[in-house]
Amino acid sequence: MTLAKARPRTRIQKKNRAAILEAALEVFSTHGFRGATVDQIASEAGLSKPNLLYYFPSKEAIHSALLERLLDTWLDPLRAIDPQGEPLEEVLAYVRRKLEMSQSLPRESRLFAMEVIQGAPRIHDVLSSDLKQLVDETAALLEDWMAQGRIARVHPHHLIFSIWSLTQHYADFDVQVRAVLGREDPFAAAPAFLETLYRRLLTP
Amino acid sequence: MTLAKARPRTRIQKKNRAAILEAALEVFSTHGFRGATVDQIASEAGLSKPNLLYYFPSKEAIHSALLERLLDTWLDPLRAIDPQGEPLEEVLAYVRRKLEMSQSLPRESRLFAMEVIQGAPRIHDVLSSDLKQLVDETAALLEDWMAQGRIARVHPHHLIFSIWSLTQHYADFDVQVRAVLGREDPFAAAPAFLETLYRRLLTP
DNA sequence: AAACGATTTGACCAAACGGTCAAACTGACG
DNA sequence: CGTCAGTTTGACCGTTTGGTCAAATCGTTT
């Protein structure tokens, strides 16, 4: 009997589906969708290929499941901005959270980056609906704060883009950053640099 | 007779090699190395597959040729920083040049991004030798300027990373940026935003 | 127009790919 | 211990892929 989209029930299913997603994250994030092979994912997960395809109907399905699970966690920090909080501190806290995610979830960042660079064929709709809405709301909040003179006036959308860009850069371009820095750990100085940057940019 | 690595001599070779590289840039930058097929590149270049492989010995060779040609143009703006110039204006001009490159050469940016995200397997050596040296020199120059109090003191390497990150974001994540912005053109507000950002960050 | 290198192509190949299937195995429960 | 749903696998299939090759065509020079 096939599993379809039903939630995993048994202990074995839970374990194997988790192992597959973990393996797929590793492989997809380093080789891209077409660069990854089902055999590779299966062997990384400690399963045979037919066995893997017993849990997920196709390579596509694994990738989709991965992206779906990712999108939520990825946008959580944005949702966590508190409209009642102190504006500058809220933004700085958001930057800090995003940077921590780049450090602790670099593979997720790279998976997302590769998908978007390739034109986001599988998540374009989510970007222009859910993501856009969330960003627009946050941008409106930022504009309120700017209108009240509590942070300096800059283009709110581009402010958000800059935070995504600067924080995810440390995950996506990790190899380049490390190649240039030599022995120095990127994440040693990054938090202070970004705090300085956004403090100077946004202090009224 | 095969062509080996010799420079193209005839008119036809010049034209076809150029067409192949142009087509390969288009295909590689949207599908990644393994996602691109030789047939795809050939048809995009208006050639048959065997004919394409008459000009380049392998898919790998096309990709390498592209990256090699790219690396120079990519780093030119960094080399163009004038040690004798006015510090803040030099940095702002560098930001402007990099942003213009993201706008006029987005495919090159994406090709480079995908290579680095996947661990830079083909250019890792160049990154940790040539690139590192160039960046270290620029960082030293920036530190001089900071020591002289002509720009504010921040981590020079991370300053350079931030410029790469912020400018290339508009090319690499173009789809996402446009999805969020709706009808608004990203490159309308980006230059002013980045100028404000770096002016506030670096004004002593 | 003859001759010769440069260019182009259809046919082909071996390997790798995503996916299928019937058959075998496993383990929890009555 | 028998049973049966749940799990695993070896063998297999059709397609796609990067690449080869001999033969055909083209273009230029004499």
Task: Check which CATH number belongs to the domain holding A72 and give it.
Answer: 1.10.357.10
What average pLDDT does chain B have? 95
A120 within 8 A of A99, measured Cβ to Cβ: no
How close A131 comes to chain B (CA, Å)?
A: 7
B181 and B100 assigned to the same domain: yes
Same domain for B115 and B35, yes or no, is no
Please check whether residues A20 and A90 belong to one and the same domain.
no
Instruction: Give yes or no for CB of B37 within 7 Å of strand C.
Output: no
Q: Please report the pLDDT score of residue A4 as a whole number.
A: 40
A-B Cβ pairs (cutoff 8 Å, strict): 159
Within an 8 Å CB–CB cutoff, is residue B121 touching chain A?
A: no
Residues of B in Cβ contact (< 8 Å) with A131: 176, 179-180
Question: Do residues A159 and A197 touch, judged by C-beta distance below 8 A?
Answer: no
Number of other CB atoms surrounding residue A201 within 10 Å: 21
Does residue A183 lie in a domain region?
yes
Residues A147-168 have pLDDT tens digits of 999 999 999 999 999 999 999 9
Same domain, A169 and A90: yes
Q: What is the ipTM of this complex?
A: 0.93
Nearest-Cα distance to chain B for A7, in Å, is 31
B130 plus B197 within the same structural domain: yes
Cite the DSSP H helix spans in chain A.
11-35, 38-45, 49-55, 59-79, 87-104, 106-117, 124-126, 132-147, 156-172, 174-181, 186-202
Residue A198: per-residue pLDDT: 98
Do residues A46 and A76 both lie within one domain? no
pLDDT of residue B11: 80
Judgement on whether residues A74 and A48 belong to the same structural domain of the protein: no
Q: Is the pLDDT of residue B3 over 80?
A: no
Number of domains in chain A: 2
Whether B75 has its CB under 8 Å from any CB of chain A: the answer is: no
Q: Indicate whether A132 and A80 sit together in one domain.
A: yes
User: In this complex, which residue's CA is closest to the C1' atom of nucleotide D16?
Assistant: B37
> Taking CB atoms and an 8 Å limit, are A180 and B114 in contact across chains?
no
Quickly tell me which residue has 């912005």 as its tokens: B181
What's the CATH number where A17 sits? Answer: 1.10.10.60
pLDDT band at B93 (very low <50, low <70, confident <90, very high): very high
- Report the share of chain B in percent with pLDDT over 90: 93
Residue B155: its chain A contacts at CB < 8 A? 189, 192-193
Across chain A, mean pLDDT equals: 95
Whether pLDDT at A126 is above 50: yes
Residue B62 resides in a domain: no
pLDDT-based confidence at residue B7 (cuts at 50, 70, 90): low
Instruction: Say whether both A22 and A93 belong to one domain.
Output: no
Q: What is the pLDDT of residue A8?
A: 54
- Same-domain status, A83 and A174: yes
Residue A18 is predicted with a pLDDT of 96
At how many degrees (to 10) do helices B186-202 and B87-104 cross?
160
Structure confidence at residue B142 as a pLDDT band (50, 70, 90): very high
Identify whether residues B73 and B115 lie together within a single domain. Answer: yes
Question: Which pLDDT score, from 0 to 100, does residue A186 have?
Answer: 97
Q: Is B1 contained in some domain?
A: no
Query: What is the average per-residue pLDDT within B51-62?
Result: 97
Q: Which residues of A touch B172 (CB under 8 A)?
A: 113, 116-117
Rounded average pLDDT over B86-106: 98
- Residue B189: other Cβ atoms inside 10 A: 15
The pLDDT, as a whole number, for residue A11 is 82
Query: Is B63 part of a structural domain of the chain?
Result: no
Q: Is residue A135 part of a domain?
A: yes
Q: How far apart are CA B7 and CA B10, in angstroms?
A: 10
Residue B34 located in a structural domain: yes
* Dihedral class, residue B5 (left if φ above 0, else alpha if ψ from -120 to 50, else beta): alpha
Asked if residue A81 is part of any domain, the answer here is: yes
Residue B47's domain spans which residues? 9-57
Decide if pLDDT at B1 tops 50.
no
pLDDT digits (tens, 9 = 90+) for B159-173: 999 999 999 999 999
Q: For the residues B54-65, what does the mean pLDDT come to?
A: 97
Q: How far, in Å, is the CA of A97 from the C1' of nucleotide C17?
A: 40
Q: Is residue B4 part of a domain?
A: no
Q: Are residues A22 and A76 in the same domain?
A: no
